[in-house]
Amino acid sequence: MSNAIKLYRHALSGHAHRVELMLSLLGLPVELVAVDLANGAHKKPEFLALNPFGQVPVIDDNGTVLADSNAIIVYLAQKYGKGQWLPSDPLALAKVMRWLSVAAGQIASGPATARLITVFGAPYNADEAITRSHALLKVMESELATRTFLAGSEASVADVAGYSYIAHAPEGNVSLADYPNVRTWLDRVEALPGFVPMQRTAAGLQVA
- Per DSSP, the residues of the chain read -TTSEEEEE-TT-HHHHHHHHHHHHTT--EEEEE--GGGTGGGSHHHHTT-TT--S-EEEETTEEEE-HHHHHHHHHHHHSTTSSS--SHHHHHHHHHHHHHHHTHHIIIIIHHHHHHHH---S-HHHHHHHHHHHHHHHHHHTTS-SBTTBSS--HHHHHHHHHHHTGGGGT---TT-HHHHHHHHHHHTSTT--PPPP-S-GGG--
Give the pLDDT confidence of 147-166 residue by residue, as tens digits: 999 999 999 999 999 999 99
> What is the architecture of the domain spanning 90-206?
Up-down Bundle (1.20)
| In the chain, domain spans | 5-80, 90-206
Q: Report pLDDT for 208.
A: 40
90-206 has the same fold as 5-80:
no
Give the pLDDT confidence of 63-75 residue by residue, as tens digits: 999 999 999 999 9
Q: Tell whether domain 5-80 is in CATH 1.10.3720.10.
A: no
Higher-confidence position of 70 and 202: 70
pTM to 2 decimals? Answer: 0.93
